[in-house]
A and B are shown apart, each in its own frame.
Chain A
Amino acid sequence: MWELFVRSLDASIVLAIAALGELIGQRSGVLNVGIEGVMLFGATFGFIVAQTTGDYTTGFIAAIAIGALIGLMHGVFSITLGVDQVVSGMGIWILGFGLTTYIGNPYTGPLGMARIDRIGGMSPFFYLALALIILTWFVLNKTSLGLKIRSVGENPAVAEVSGIGVNRIRYMCVIVSGMLMGLAGGVYGLSYNPVWNYNFLMGWGFIALALVFFSMWNPFIMFGGAVLFGALWQLALSPEFILPGVMSRYLWRMVPFVITVVVLVVMSTRWFRTRWGAAKPEALGMPYRKEG
């Protein structure tokens, strides 16, 4: 059982790192629905570079760098050009799917490198993810930079009047956001499932996107959601270890998604929002044009 839980954590940390990237972008008011595409870029470039150089570090740097570049591209479209952020995000997803299929094809197959050592029985990325989540929470809630990020996500016009460079902050956030999504792709492709195949994320980016809404833009709740989703997903694959013979395996496979829907419905109620103060950034998804 413990092994199953640890393995579910391996899946959870990929989702958590990607969702953390999305959360940072969204707190600054920029929505990126192309998270799956950025992860595909990170996973593919990380895989190719690591396999070519035989070095994990270089692979992860490549994954983060390509994530930053795609984040910057999303920034140019959604911040400078002010295009619809959903359209830009969808474009990134489609581009990621198509381009990584084209570029990654010759690399189809296992990575063929010795596995990254575990620390205390856990993936080292578990500790990294925890550190990043604590750091993000601290920056967002306890620093002036975090206040600026939240300000531009809530009311960019007021933030601008207060002397905050809205575009500068948003650019910084979308780049950091892309870096984390690229890293998440790298963790998936180099550590969790190091066998390249086209479209091998199969929708994990969209689960990460849902986790951000699930979390009410709080990094700790988001991490809890990722752990819950990972555990339910693992349980759905091996239900006989906990509740043998209770339901068909096909029904079990629905459980993580049904619970996600139920939680989202509960969270959308006025009672819940009043009680818990859901923190959706008011300016999320809205392009900002400086007046005057």
Chain B
Amino acid sequence: MSKKRIFQLIGLLLVFSLLMVACAPDEEPVEPVEPVDPDEPVEVDEVTLAINHFSIIEGTTWSGAQHRAGERIAEKYDNVNYIYREEVGPDLTIPFAEEMIAEGADIVVGNAEFMGLPLKDIVDQYPDVYFASVVGSDVTTERNFIRYFPRQYQALYLEGLIAGALTETNSVGIVSAFPVAQVSRRQAGFVLGVQEAAELLGKEIDVYVRYSGDWFLPAEEREIATTLVEEYNVDVITQQTDSGAPLDVAEERGIWFVGKDMDTVGFYGWSDTSTVAVSFDTRWEVLFEQMVLDKLADNPNPETILMLGMESSMELADGREVYAVDIMNDNKIGIEAISPEALPLIPQEILDLVEERREMMIAGQWDPFTANELVSNGTGLELPGLPIPERGEVVKPAGEEPTAEWLLGSFNFDLLGTTILE
């Protein structure tokens, strides 16, 4: 191609681009948000729930579970529609959100932490739309910008009790992503359970954590899991990452696996109960239902920090009641979620404790983070203006209820007794 032709082509492209820009509609001036008197609610006839899924939905435990939640909401409410986009990266968060708003979305959910800030940037442009984003550690909100996360640590605490009872080598391993409030909080719930089981059974259990550096690094996760088994004698393993590699290593090595945030046996058939001792399920629909009900009631001021746990539930279209989080395995919940192969290996006092604590959490009468003292291990992640508490420092005394904001945004330490493998 001659130089002249190339310049002609570039010129043509420039003219075309300018024309496209010139033809774009003028930006509507941003209307100031008019506060609506909440005393005079207006019923909304129909609501469209829209979710930006950061990953594909098929076969993934995070987006897959939130997709099912959207479908269940639409199934229950005739006047609720559910639309979505998948594999949404940071650059596509706003375009897809606006596309779905143009399709009638009243609630736009971003199911990854990185979607939070982009969505927050457009909340004023769409004052009638609720925006929601999952929390990693940033808990900033706006009137119509909701931050949500379930109290998964409650289920993880129960899993920790079971893991502590199951280990014969007194070594439990966690393949983890990186220290961030979301991860540290969940690990702490699990460690509290392990430590309580150890105390009850007179064991000395080590909990080893190794970070891979990201949520999804299959090869690294496999190597870390194998090292935990081979070098640290771990015989119960769990993960705070997203690939199936640690589960596969557990199966290969014949050790127990404790599930992360999905019933991988019941929903996906990735393993069986001879490997998966217990898992838990997050019912995101319980959180989404709250947003939908607020929207249907045309509440201009929805609850902006949504951190629901076992005390929160919803009735599905088929009449079943599900809790925001619960231990689950092979489609069974509660104490029945414990693998039939693992059950005989767990002392009755632990089984009774699991049952009792679960019931108390469902009744809203007990919470592991309220009941227990939280003592820092001196490891974690320093956040702006929030250094890691010194080793041995009691960050929260027993009996004091931590706020949702603190749990979501400031939980930047590991619990004393956790071994972080550097």
Residues of A within 8 A of B (CB): 3-4, 7, 11, 101, 105-110, 115, 192-195, 197-198, 200, 202, 204, 234, 237-241, 245, 248-250, 253
Interface code B4-27, partner A: CB below 8 Å = 1, 0 otherwise?
Answer: 000000000000000000000000
Q: Are A109 and B56 in contact (CB under 8 A)?
A: no
Cβ 8 A contact of B222, one of A109, A193, A249: A193
Q: Are A109 and B422 in contact (CB under 8 A)?
A: no
Q: Are B248 and A195 in contact (CB under 8 A)?
A: yes
CA A202 – CA B216 in complex, angstroms?
9
Does B58 have its Cβ within 8 Å of any Cβ on chain A? Answer: yes
6 contacts between A and B (CB under 8 A): A105-B58, A106-B59, A195-B218, A202-B219, A204-B219, A245-B422
Q: Are B271 and A105 in contact (CB under 8 A)?
A: no
Q: Are A237 and B220 in contact (CB under 8 A)?
A: yes
Q: Report chain A residues within 8 Å CB of B226.
A: 7
Q: Are B59 and A109 in contact (CB under 8 A)?
A: yes
CA A4 – CA B226 in complex, angstroms?
9
Interface code B215-251, partner A: CB below 8 Å = 1, 0 otherwise?
Answer: 0111110111011001100000000000111011001
Q: Are A109 and B270 in contact (CB under 8 A)?
A: yes
CB distance from A106 to the nearest CB of B (A): 7
Nearest B-chain residue to A104, judged by Cβ: B59
Q: Are A193 and B268 in contact (CB under 8 A)?
A: no
With A7-B223, A193-B218, A197-B218 known to touch, is A249 a contact of B211 (CB < 8 Å)? Answer: yes
With A105-B58, A197-B244, A248-B422 known to touch, is A110 a contact of B251 (CB < 8 Å)? Answer: yes
Nearest B-chain residue to A202, judged by Cβ: B217
Q: Are B247 and A249 in contact (CB under 8 A)?
A: no
CA A117 – CA B300 in complex, angstroms?
63
CA A239 – CA B223 in complex, angstroms?
13
Q: Are B60 and A192 in contact (CB under 8 A)?
A: no
CA A240 – CA B208 in complex, angstroms?
13
CA A105 – CA B64 in complex, angstroms?
12
CA A240 – CA B210 in complex, angstroms?
11
Q: Report chain B residues within 8 Å CB of A250.
A: 213
- Listed from nearest, the 8 A-B pairs whose CB atoms lie closest are A108-B59, A105-B58, A195-B244, A109-B270, A110-B248, A200-B218, A195-B248, A238-B227
Does B269 have its Cβ within 8 Å of any Cβ on chain A? Answer: yes
Q: Report chain B residues within 8 Å CB of A110.
A: 244, 247-248, 251, 270-271
Q: Report chain B residues within 8 Å CB of A3.
A: 230
With A109-B244, A110-B247 known to touch, is A237 a contact of B56 (CB < 8 Å)? Answer: no
Does B421 have its Cβ within 8 Å of any Cβ on chain A? Answer: yes
CA A177 – CA B2 in complex, angstroms?
35
CA A115 – CA B252 in complex, angstroms?
8
CB distance from A15 to the nearest CB of B (A): 11
Q: Report chain A residues within 8 Å CB of B252.
A: 115
Nearest A-chain residue to B275, judged by Cβ: A110
Interface code B248-282, partner A: CB below 8 Å = 1, 0 otherwise?
Answer: 10011000000000001000111100000000000
CB distance from B219 to the nearest CB of A (A): 6
Q: Are A237 and B270 in contact (CB under 8 A)?
A: no
Nearest B-chain residue to A115, judged by Cβ: B252
CB distance from A252 to the nearest CB of B (A): 9
Q: Are B58 and A240 in contact (CB under 8 A)?
A: no
CA A105 – CA B67 in complex, angstroms?
15
Q: Are A197 and B243 in contact (CB under 8 A)?
A: yes
Q: Are A105 and B227 in contact (CB under 8 A)?
A: no
Q: Report chain B residues within 8 Å CB of A249.
A: 211, 422
CA A245 – CA B227 in complex, angstroms?
18
Q: Report chain B residues within 8 Å CB of A106.
A: 58-59
CA A103 – CA B59 in complex, angstroms?
12
Nearest B-chain residue to A109, judged by Cβ: B270
Q: Are A253 and B227 in contact (CB under 8 A)?
A: no
CA A204 – CA B218 in complex, angstroms?
11
Most buried by A among B60, B217, B218, B252: B218
CA A239 – CA B227 in complex, angstroms?
12
Q: Report chain B residues within 8 Å CB of A239.
A: 422
CA A253 – CA B60 in complex, angstroms?
27
With A7-B223, A195-B245, A237-B223 known to touch, is A202 a contact of B218 (CB < 8 Å)? Answer: yes
Nearest A-chain residue to B55, judged by Cβ: A198
Nearest B-chain residue to A237, judged by Cβ: B223
CB distance from B417 to the nearest CB of A (A): 19
CA A106 – CA B56 in complex, angstroms?
11
Cβ 8 A contact of B59, one of A11, A105, A194, A253: A105
Q: Report chain B residues within 8 Å CB of A197.
A: 59, 216, 218, 243-244
Q: Are B245 and A193 in contact (CB under 8 A)?
A: yes
Nearest A-chain residue to B242, judged by Cβ: A197
Given contacts A7-B226, A110-B244, A195-B247, 19 further A-B contacts (CB under 8 A): A11-B219, A108-B60, A108-B268, A109-B244, A109-B268, A110-B247, A110-B248, A110-B251, A110-B271, A193-B219, A193-B222, A193-B245, A193-B248, A195-B218, A195-B244, A202-B216, A202-B219, A240-B421, A248-B422
CA A198 – CA B86 in complex, angstroms?
13
CA A101 – CA B59 in complex, angstroms?
11
CA A239 – CA B40 in complex, angstroms?
63
Q: Report chain B residues within 8 Å CB of A237.
A: 210, 220, 223-224, 227
